[in-house]
Homo-oligomer: A and B are copies of this chain.
Amino acid sequence: VHSLQISWLLFVFFSSDIEISRAQSPKAVDVLAKEIGLLTDEIEIYGQTKAKVRLSLLERLKDQPDGKYVLVAGITPTPLGEGKSTVTIGLVQALTAHLDINSFACLRQPSQGPTFGVKGGAAGGGYAQVIPMEEFNLHLTGDIHAITAANNLLAAAIDARILHENTQSDKALYNRLVPVVNGVRGFSAIQLARLRRLGINKSDPGTLTEEEVSKFARLDIDPSTITWQRVVDTNDRFLRKITVGQANTEKGFIRQAQFDIAVASEIMAILALTTSLQDMKERLGKMVVANDKKGEPVTAEDLGVTGALAVLMKDAIKPTLMQTLEGTPVFVHAGPFANIAHGNSSVLADKIALKLVGETGFVVTEAGFGADIGMEKFFNIKCRASGLVPSVVVLVATVRALKMHGGGPNVTAGAPLKKEYTEENLQLVADGCCNLQKQIQIAQLFGVPVVVALNVFKTDSVAEVDLVCKIAKQSGAFDAVPCNHWSAGGRGAVKLAQAVEKAARQKNSFKYLYSLELPIVEKIRIIAQKVYGAEDIELSLAAQTQIDRYTRQGFGNLPICMAKTHLSLSHQPERKGVPTGFILPISDVRASIGAGFIYPLVGTMSTMPGLPTRPCFYDIDLDPITEQVKGLF
C-alpha cells in the first residue's frame, strides 16, 4: 500500500485537479440515480452528469427512517482553507466505496464569482472531488441564476413602484393597478390577498372608499430604508456602491444602492432553509425589503411579486445530483454566504439524502468557515429549520493552521509559505492546539460527539501528526485520525470513516444553544460568550435601534446569524489561537425575515468580492475542438 500511495502522490503532484477530474469518466447520472433507488419520474436529467431530484421523493419515502447525520466543520482556518470539502468527499468515498455503507455528501453550490476571481473552484480536490468539476463550478443546473433573476425582479419592482407612486395620484394609480379588461374590472388573486391583509373585505373594485383606494394603491416605501439589494454572480467591485435612477425617464428619483454577489441574496438563504415549495413561497412572500413611511415593514408580498418569485425558483428548489470521483452520490444545493447568512447547504438535500441512505447509512454535510461560525449556525439555524438531529461532528484541522494558532508567521494567499510551515515544529503545533481544543468544546456545547480529521499534507511529520491526534483526544474528541483522501481518495479516509461510524453509535444528547424566546440581545450574548469566548457584547446605537425595531415589528423570536470574521474566534482576524478578554462589538443589526434570522454585524462585511490584478481567468481556456475546459482548479 505504501509504495502505491507514493506513486499516487507523484501522480497527484504532477496533476491538476481538473486533470484528475477528467481522468475519471463519471457514470451516467441516470445509472447513478438507479443505483441509489430513485425512480425514473423522480429525476430530471440535465446533460449526462447532473440531475435534479423531485421533492415528491420525500412523500414516497416518508416512512423510511433517516440515516446518520454528520457535519463537517473546521478549526479557525488560515486564508488558504483547511480542506473541509475534501474531507467531506473523502469521507463519503471511504464509507460507500470502501466500507460498503450507504452514504451521501451534501455540498454547497459555489458562486461563479470567485471561480473567475481569486479563489478558483470549490469541488474538493485531488482524489476527493466532485466530478465533472467544471460542471460543479460553472452554471450547474442554473439555481444561482434563478436566484439572481428572482432577486433582481424584486429589486426592480421596488424602485419602479416608488417611481409610479411618486408620479401618480391615488386615482390614477388605482386605475392602472385595477384596469378594465374586456369591459370587466376585477382584482387579481394577489391584490385580493393584499386587501385582506389591509382589513378591506371587498372584492368589487368600484366599492372602495377614497381612503381604502389610497391604502391599497400606495405602499409608501421610505427609500432610505430599502435593504433589498440587486445581485450579480460576478466579482464586480465597482458595483459595491452606486447611484441608480439617473436617466431622465426616472424623473430625478435617484438613490444610492449596491450590488451584492448573488449568493448573498436572502433568496439563497431561503433556498437553503426551506422544507417545501409551499414553505418557500411563504418565505419569499415574507421577505422584508424596506419600511414604509410609518416604520412598518414592506414585504415582497406587498409588492405582489411572491408568485413570480416562486415561479422563477420552482426548479431551483430541487437538489442537484452529482457524484464523487469514486462514483458515490452527492447533492449540490444552495450556497448561502457564511457571514451575513448561515453558510450551509440545503435542508431539502439533507432530508432527501437521509431517506435515501436508509437507517444504517450516512449523510455528510459541510458548514462554512470555522466551527464557531458555520457549525454554530448549522445547529441553531439549520437544524432548527429542519428538525433534524446531527449524530457526529467531524472537525477538520491541519498542522499548518495549528502552527499559525501556535504563533507561526502570517499565512497569506498567493505568497509562498514560510519554513515554519514546511519543516517540523512540534512546539508551534502544541501551542496551536488550543484552537482545536476550543472548537471541540464548542461542538460539545451542543451535545454531539466530535471526531477530529487531521488533513495531512506531505510536509507534515509523523511526530506532528501524532501530537495533534493525541492532544485532540485529550481535549475530549471521541477520536482523532489523520486523513490522506487528497492523495489517496476514499482509501485515505477509511480510518476516519470507521471512527465516524463508531461515534455515530454513541448516545446523542443534541440540544440548541439558546431558546428562541430569549430577547435578541440575550441570544447574541450567549453566542458571543459561550462560543467565541467574549467577556461581553457592546451594541452600537444603530444596533440597539434596529433590535428595538425588529422586536417591535414582531421579529424578536428569530434565531441569530452572526456576521463575524472567520479568521479568529474573536472579531479581530489577527488574533489567533483562543483570544480572551475581548468585548464583541455589534456595529449594526439586520434581518432576513423570509430566511428567518436576525444578523448582527460584527464589523464590516464585504458582500461583493473584487477581481485582483491577475484574476483566475488568465489561466482559464476552452479547447474548441475537444470542448475541454482548461485552468479551472
Residue numbers of A with Cβ under 8 A of B are: 44-48, 52, 112, 116, 134, 138-139, 142, 145-146, 148-149, 152-153, 155-157, 159-160, 163-164, 168, 173, 176-180, 182-183, 188-191, 230, 232-247, 249-250, 256-258, 276-278, 280-281, 304-308, 310-312, 314-315, 414, 416, 610-615, 617-622, 624-625, 627, 629-632
Contact = CB atoms under 8 A, between A and B. Distances in A.
Contacts of A622: 277, 281, 307, 310-311, 314
Contact of A308 (B155, B315, B617): B617
Contact of A618 (B191, B237, B243, B631): B191
A243 B241 CA distance: 9
Given A188-B619, A308-B617, A613-B177, A238 B156 contact: yes
Contacts of A182: 416
A157 B615 contact: yes
B281 A624 contact: yes
A157 B173 CA distance: 42
B250 A245 contact: no
A308 B190 CA distance: 42
Contacts of A250: 237-238, 240-241
7 contacts: A112-B149, A145-B148, A152-B232, A156-B236, A278-B624, A307-B631, A311-B632
A624 to B, nearest CB: 4
Q: Which of A164, A177, A277, A618 has the largest number of chain B CB atoms within 10 A?
A: A618
B237 A156 contact: yes
Contacts of A44: 46-48
A629 to B, nearest CB: 5
B188 A234 contact: no
A43 B506 CA distance: 49
A10 to B, nearest CB: 16
A239 B244 contact: yes
A164 to B, nearest CB: 4
B237 A160 contact: yes
Given A148-B148, A152-B234, A241-B246, 11 more contacts: A138-B312, A142-B145, A159-B237, A160-B236, A188-B618, A237-B247, A238-B257, A242-B245, A277-B625, A305-B617, A310-B622
Q: Which of A173, A179, A306, A314 has the largest number of chain B CB atoms within 10 A?
A: A314
Nearest to A168: B613
A611 B164 CA distance: 10
B278 A179 contact: no
Contacts of A233: 149
Q: Which of A46, A239, A612, A630 has the largest number of chain B CB atoms within 10 A?
A: A239
A238 B242 contact: no
A543 to B, nearest CB: 22
A16 to B, nearest CB: 12
Contacts of A256: 246
The 9 closest A-B pairs by CB, nearest first: A307-B621, A145-B145, A308-B617, A240-B247, A156-B236, A241-B247, A176-B613, A160-B611, A278-B624
Q: Which of A52, A234, A245 has the largest number of chain B CB atoms within 10 A?
A: A234
A31 to B, nearest CB: 14
Contacts of A627: 277, 314
A153 B250 CA distance: 27
Contacts of A257: 238
B311 A629 contact: yes
Given A145-B145, A241-B247, A307-B622, A629 B314 contact: yes
Contacts of A249: 237, 240, 610
A129 to B, nearest CB: 18
Given A139-B145, A247-B237, A176 B629 contact: no
Nearest to A176: B613
Contacts of A629: 311, 314
Contact of A611 (B47, B157, B238, B277): B157
Contact of A307 (B149, B178, B613, B617): B617
A65 to B, nearest CB: 26
A311 B624 contact: no
A353 B163 CA distance: 46
Given A156-B234, A247-B237, A250-B237, A624 B276 contact: yes
Contact of A47 (B52, B146, B173, B244): B52
B134 A190 contact: no
Given A149-B139, A179-B414, A238 B617 contact: no
B310 A621 contact: yes
B190 A618 contact: yes
Given A47-B44, A613-B168, A244 B238 contact: yes
